[in-house]
Structure formats: structure tokens, C-alpha cells
Structure 1
Amino acid sequence: MARYERVLANVADGIYGLDRDGRVEFVNPAAERITGRPAAEQLGRDQHDLLHGARQDGSPYPREECPVWQALASGRTVSADAEVFWHADGTAVPVELIAVPTVEDGEVTGVVVSFRDLTDRLAALRQAEELRRLAEQNAAQRALSDRLQQALLTPPPEPDHLHVAVRYRPAADGAQVGGDWYDAFLQPDGATVLVIGDVVGHGSDAAAAMGQLRGLLRALAYDEEQPPSATLARAERTALGLAVSTLATVVLARIERHPDVPVAGTRVLRWSNAGHLPPLLLDPDGTSRLLATRPELVLGVDPHARRTDATADVRDGQTLLLYTDGLVERRDSDLDAGLAALQDALRDLGRVPLEELCDTLLSRMVPEPGADDVALVAVRAYPEDRPRPPEAGPNRLPPGVP
């Protein structure tokens, strides 16, 4: 008997012994703890009236519908997984229970009720359901943002003797989509305009802001053949007037022929940098240089900020790279190390076909999707006094461009 009493005293489940009228004959410590009622308060009392007389919503619970009384009445074991016992402080305790009748000489003399507090389990289930709901919501937002971003990242033009290649790699599935974008298009005079940018933030809001800013820059750059700095300043003022409120880093560049020199072997790159990573110019022999300029404010801070242009020659065979920070920034290293790694990854790619260069570079720098998106624009110049090489593919120009 002592051994059985020790078992009853140490099990986690509550256990009651009731007589044939439903009065409490014994109660173990777990049942006292779960209900908040000491044994002295329960012994001899009608258990249904004391703990089980109302449903979760407070409505009366008829005795004949109670699984404990059904076991007493039928002499059969009855289980239930969605019952409520009422704590001494008036709160409802969700329980699952099993009621086993005691039978002597064919007569039901009482019932033993074992029950388990489901509070923690149900809380865990609710938490799991909320996490599942949030995961589905995030997945839906991610899919919407991805579709928006992909719809805006259109194929680049292919002007004569310039090969333009673009790449966009989204972040890992668990990360939110960012506001990275690229753009490449021709102005009416035949100059090639390149844009690389990154809107601050993540998710659908960042993707929507990116779409607004990309469209604004594209329209303004095409409409007037201004220096890139003037276009950036105009775009910032226009965005303010149209309540396009966002912060973004941007490089706006224009590749031009030398004035009055139809075939010069070099072209002029003119660009303005609003707080973005520097463009990179790669030589055929694998050496490269970062086109770093004095830091200037990101877009969205000061519509009257002074913006400047920089220029560099792009010779035949050279490759220009514009990229976002997902290519070079890592949590475990600084930006200088990332830029050095980029230059090192390019050392044997100076003469590799441009499409292969882009794919190889991404595989080296971002072998697996990371926490941030990556956008990349690569442009290679070819001699103008000979045919466009087959590796560059055919020309692809918008209607009306010479």
C-alpha cells in the first residue's frame, strides 16, 4: 500500500477516486496543484459541482453529459480530450481525462479519474500555429516582392560593340527580399545608361519603393541628356515632391563615345555615386581598379545635396562592373576585405566571355544564397572597327534607336 501511495504522490497527472455518487474519496498532490484546492477542501465533496459544473464558456454542464458520470452510469471506461476543470481562482484549466469505473461483485462502486493539464501543450500548439501563420504570411509577401522585383529587372539592351550582362540573385528563402535593382537602357543619342541601386529596408515596402525610384530615374535619364549628377539631383527633388519617401544608394552611369571621334578604341564612362559601392574596371589581364570617388549622400536625405560627376576611359576589352552589397559584404568581415576578395575573384576572368564571367563570379563570391540580394551589371567594350564578336550575341536595341 505504501508503494502505491508513493506512486500516487509523485505522478504528474492528477488522480481522483470518487464513490458511486461522485463524491471525492481520495485526491493526489498533482490534482491539488492543478486545481489549486487542498485535499481537505475536496474530500467528501461532489467533484462535478466543485470542479466541472460549467463549460469553458461558463454555461452549465449537465451532469448526465459529463464523461465521469457517464462512466459511473455505464460501467464502461470513458475518455475525453477537451474538458475543463475550474481552478480555485476561477480560471479554466483545459484537461484531458480518462474515467475508469471500479466494479465489485458486478456493481459499480465508484470511479478513478486520471487527468492531465493541457495548458502548456495548448499554448505550444497556439504558438506553433502562430509561427506557421507568420511563415505563410512572410512567404506570400516574399513571393509578391519577388514577382514585383523580377518584373522590373528587364533584359538589358545590346548596343553595337558593347556587351551588357545582368544578374540578380535573391536572398535565401528565410530572408526577406531587399530593394536591390539594376537598369540598363539607351538614350536617344545612343549613349548607354547604367544604374545599380539598393533601397534601404526589406520586404514588399522596399520592393515597391525600389520600383518607384527605378521608374523615376529611368524616365528622367531618358528624357534629358544631362550629366548623371544632374539626373540624380533632379530625381531626388522629384521624389520629394511626389512623396516617394525612401533612402537608397545609387550609381548612375553613362557610357559615351568620345566627341567627334567615331572609332577611338576608348569610350568615356561618366558617373555619379550616391553613397553606393564603387564601380570596378577590369582589364583583360585580370588587374582591376575600384573607381572610388569622394563619398556623397544617399538619395532621400537632402534634396539640395551637392552631387558631382566622375569620368574614366573604358578601353576595348575592359569590363565594367556595377554591383550591390550582397556581393561583397559579410557579417564576419569588413567591406575592405570584401572588395579585396572581389578583385581577387576576378584575376583570371579578364578574358573570359562576359556571361561566363558573371556566373563564375557569383559562384565564387556567393556560393550559396545569403542574407541579402545581389544585383550585378557587367559591360564589356569591343573594338568598333571590326564586327561584334559571336560571344557577345546579337544586337538588341529598342525601336527607333540608331
Structure 2
Amino acid sequence: METQLSRTVARYERVLANVADGIYGLDAEGRVEFVNPAAVRITGRPADEQLGIDQHELLHGRRPDGRPYPKEECPVWRALRTGRTVAADDEVFWRRDDSAVPVELIAVPTVEDGEVTGVVVSFRDLTDRLAARRQAAELQHLAQQAAAQRALSDRLQQALLTPPPEPDHLHIVVRYRPAAHEAQVGGDWYDAFLQPDGATMLVIGDVVGHDSDAAAAMGQLRGLLRVLAYDNDEPPSATLTRGEHVARGLAVSSMATALLARIERRPDVPVAGTRVLRWSNAGHPPPLLLSPDGSTTVLATKPELMLGVDPDAPRSDHTADLDDGQTLLLLTDGLVERRGIDLDQGMDALRAALRDLGGVPLEELCDTLLERMVPVDGADDVALIAVRAHPEDRPRPAEAGPNRLPPDLAAPVA
């Protein structure tokens, strides 16, 4: 019997020595009778400094803010006085170095012949758990902030990225796809509008940055270029230069790539199925022409400085014919740039993706192209303008839908 009792005591001692939770045994007056190694480790107080000492006064006599903690309010003391098990999950013990350790504890009274003879206190250090909880709360807060920022920027972008006009024999389709990551909001934009003489203006650009400031700068630059380009026939390069000077004067200081283009009829040629594309490129991916047979031409030009660096940087204009049946594509770099590939490789991939799309309806072309080129988890915004030229000596094709013109340019109703 004595041997069995010795084995039982030894087993309990091994348990007390190896559990991760701190364990105290207190007498009826709250003095420490035994303490396990985990309690020594958590509190930093050797066992011989604790045995026989009032545990509440030693470890528990102050609240987290340092104010006195009356013994009668202590859950351990309540267990001693009531004989009932008491649990608490927001207590603080004070270490030997006078630093606080958050703990949860359970106090179980020991009762002999109906009398409370002491209490066993088991407690757990909550430092790591509370730190993880705070980190989770902070991450949730940041996620909510990012989602709100993204929603605000998306609303701003959607408000500004208006439907394009539909002049008689041009079909214009636009697409904008935001980045998949909710914290990434960008400054990609497109614009398309008609000048009073009927020429079609196209703008596509990308403000540097991925936050609400980039989206706000996008709105400012878009509006600025739209106003400056609307009612004059200066070359696109001159409009970009004027835009840079105005932006600097109005403290719109963000940098951006942009491409400004105008589709014009040849003034000296009757309706002949050819239009002139005139453009200037400020550090933006080049435009691309797609023929009905699927062949493509990248309208690459010598790189010129992006907007927002030097308002007096030299800028050039370029021209190309836009024939009936051809499709002009203006795009932002999110369509062609990926990690591990450069712009040239991206443009090659774009041309390959277009090989069988030269003759499909323009809406279908844009949707198919985005599906082929943009991964589901795309890391960047994508803006796209597609313009298809139709013969002027025939009615507008049904696939292009009805004309949509500003009131001043719409034909009067008979």
C-alpha cells in the first residue's frame, strides 16, 4: 500500500513538473504550500521565495494599472471563502522584475470533513494569445480600411470612366478591370470624346501608385486633358505639354504615363475608307493595329518622358492610317506586363492572343482578350480602348449598335 502511494505521489509530481500551466497550492490563509516549475518560470520567482508567503500579496495585489487589488475581490480568495470553484480570464500576476503577465486562472478549493483547507490554483500565461488576438484585430482593421479605400477609389474610377461616344462609322468599346488584391487601387484611366469638328479623341493613362491618392490624381489628370483637348486642333504633343504646365500650376504633382490620340478624316480626300490616327506617347505602352485577318502592327515609337517629370520635355507626334475593318487598341501595362516578363514579351503574347480575333465583334474581342491575357488574381489594374473602323459609304453595322453622339453633334430630328 505504501509503495502504491509512493508511486501515485511520484506520478503527480511528474505531472506538476511537466505541465505548461503554472500551479500553486495554497493553505486556508492563502499562503503558498507548493509551486510547480511552470509557475516559477512564468513569474520569475524561485520557489523558495514563494513558499509560506501570501500569494495574493506577492503576485496579485495590484491591478493592471497598478492600483491596489483588494483581497476580498480576488477570485482565489473567493474560492477559499465560499468553497466553490472560481474561474477568471482577465487577471494579472506580477513577475519578480515587476512586469505584469496576463493570466487566466481557475481556483479549486480543497475540502476536508466539510472544511475548506486550501485551494489549488492553475493559471496560464496569456501573453502570446493576447498578442495574437491584437494582431488579428489589427489585421482585420487594416483589411477593413483597405476594403473601404478600395470601394471609394472604385466608385471614383467608375464615376469618371464614362461610356464612350459612338460616332457614325467608328465603334468604340472600353473595358476597365481592377486589380484582384483589395488593397491595390490604381490610377489607370481611359477617355473617349468627340471634338466639335467631329474628330474622335482617345486618351489612356496610368498614374504612378496604388492608393486613393493615385485614383484622385487620375481624376484630375483625366479632367484636365479632356478640357484642354476638347476644342482645339493642336497636335496631341502640344496638348500634353500644355497639360503638364497646367498640372504643375495647379499642384497636380503625380507622375503618369499617358497616350493622347485623335482619329481624323483626311481633309483632302472624299469618303474613301481611310482615316488618320495621330498620337503622342508619354512613356506609355504603344498602340496596336489589328487587321481583319488577325495580323497586328505595334505602333512603336522612340520612348518619351512620362508626365510629371519635366513639363518642357520634348514631345513628338506620330501618324498612321486606320483602314476600314482595322481595330485600334490602346491599353495600360496591366494587360501585358507580368512578373518575370518584359514589355516586349508581353506585347508578343498580346499579338498571339489576337490572331483569331480580327473579325469577331468588338465587344467579344475585348472580353476574350481580357480572359486570355489577365489572370484571375491580376496584380494590376487594366484599362483598354478598342476602336474599329467601318466603311463610311454603307450603313453602320448592326453589331456596332446605334450611334451615340453629344447633343451638339447629333443629327437634328426631322
User: Cα distance, 1:92 vs. partner?
Assistant: 1.1
Measured against aligned partners, the alpha-carbon deviations of 1:321-342 in whole angstroms (never above 9, x if no partner) come to 0000111111132222111110
Paired residues, what number?
402
Matched, 1:294 2:311: no
Distance in 2 separating the partners of 1:149 and 1:364: 24
Contact 1:175–1:372 (CA<8 Å) still a contact in 2?
A: no
Matched, 1:224 2:232: yes
**Residue 176 of structure 2 aligns with which residue?**
168
User: Cα distance, 1:367 vs. partner?
Assistant: 4.3
Distance in 1 separating the partners of 2:250 and 2:197: 28
Contact 1:258–1:264 (CA<8 Å) still a contact in 2?
A: no
Contact 1:169–1:369 (CA<8 Å) still a contact in 2?
A: no
Matched, 1:57 2:65: yes
Identity %: 81
In structure 2, which of residues 270, 274, 281 is the aligned counterpart of residue 262 of structure 1?
270
User: Cα distance, 1:369 vs. partner?
Assistant: 4.2
Question: How large is the RMSD of aligned CA atoms in angstroms?
Answer: 0.9
Distance in 1 separating the partners of 2:281 and 2:183: 27
What amino acid maps onto 1:140 in structure 2?
Answer: A
User: Cα distance, 1:400 vs. partner?
Assistant: 0.7
**Residue 280 of structure 1 aligns with which residue?**
288
The aligned runs of 1:337-376 (5 Å cut-off) are 337-376=345-384
User: Cα distance, 1:202 vs. partner?
Assistant: 0.7
Measured against aligned partners, the alpha-carbon deviations of 1:234-258 in whole angstroms (never above 9, x if no partner) come to 0001101110001000010000000
Distance in 1 separating the partners of 2:270 and 2:29: 108
- The more displaced of 337-346 and 167-176 is 167-176
Distance in 1 separating the partners of 2:398 and 2:348: 32
User: Cα distance, 1:6 vs. partner?
Assistant: 1.3
**Residue 307 of structure 1 aligns with which residue?**
315
In structure 2, the residue corresponding to 1:376 is in which secondary structure?
strand
**Residue 43 of structure 1 aligns with which residue?**
51
Distance in 2 separating the partners of 1:287 and 1:266: 18
**Residue 255 of structure 2 aligns with which residue?**
247
In structure 1, the residue corresponding to 2:258 is in which secondary structure?
strand
- The more displaced of 309-318 and 256-265 is 256-265
In structure 1, which of residues 316, 327, 330 is the aligned counterpart of residue 338 of structure 2?
330
- The more displaced of 169-178 and 307-316 is 169-178
Matched, 1:74 2:82: yes
Distance in 2 separating the partners of 1:239 and 1:275: 17
In structure 2, the residue corresponding to 1:6 is in which secondary structure?
helix
Distance in 1 separating the partners of 2:113 and 2:18: 31
**Residue 140 of structure 1 aligns with which residue?**
148
Contact 2:146–2:183 (CA<8 Å) still a contact in 1?
A: no
In structure 2, which of residues 381, 398, 411 is the aligned counterpart of residue 390 of structure 1?
398
User: Cα distance, 1:223 vs. partner?
Assistant: 3.0
What amino acid maps onto 1:165 in structure 2?
Answer: V
In structure 1, which of residues 11, 15, 28 is the aligned counterpart of residue 23 of structure 2?
15
What amino acid maps onto 1:268 in structure 2?
Answer: V
Contact 1:164–1:379 (CA<8 Å) still a contact in 2?
A: yes
User: Cα distance, 1:193 vs. partner?
Assistant: 0.3
Distance in 2 separating the partners of 1:161 and 1:349: 20
Contact 1:330–1:338 (CA<8 Å) still a contact in 2?
A: yes
Measured against aligned partners, the alpha-carbon deviations of 1:1-22 in whole angstroms (never above 9, x if no partner) come to 1221111111110000101010
TM-score by length of 1: 0.99
User: Cα distance, 1:175 vs. partner?
Assistant: 4.2
**Residue 130 of structure 2 aligns with which residue?**
122
**Residue 31 of structure 1 aligns with which residue?**
39
User: Cα distance, 1:125 vs. partner?
Assistant: 0.2
Matched, 1:159 2:167: yes
Matched, 1:380 2:380: no
Contact 1:179–1:201 (CA<8 Å) still a contact in 2?
A: yes
What amino acid maps onto 2:285 in structure 1?
Answer: L
Q: Please identify runs of 4+ aligned residues in structure 1 that moved more than 6 A.
A: none
What amino acid maps onto 1:2 in structure 2?
Answer: A
Contact 1:197–1:324 (CA<8 Å) still a contact in 2?
A: yes
TM-score by length of 2: 0.96
User: Cα distance, 1:264 vs. partner?
Assistant: 1.8
Distance in 1 separating the partners of 2:400 and 2:231: 28
In structure 2, the residue corresponding to 1:273 is in which secondary structure?
strand
The aligned runs of 1:184-195 (5 Å cut-off) are 184-195=192-203
User: Cα distance, 1:90 vs. partner?
Assistant: 1.1
**Residue 149 of structure 1 aligns with which residue?**
157
Structure 1: where are the runs of 5+ without partners?
none
What amino acid maps onto 2:177 in structure 1?
Answer: R
User: Cα distance, 1:106 vs. partner?
Assistant: 1.3
Measured against aligned partners, the alpha-carbon deviations of 1:217-239 in whole angstroms (never above 9, x if no partner) come to 00000032210000000000110
In structure 2, which of residues 103, 127, 133 is the aligned counterpart of residue 95 of structure 1?
103
Distance in 2 separating the partners of 1:369 and 1:2: 59
User: Cα distance, 1:273 vs. partner?
Assistant: 0.2
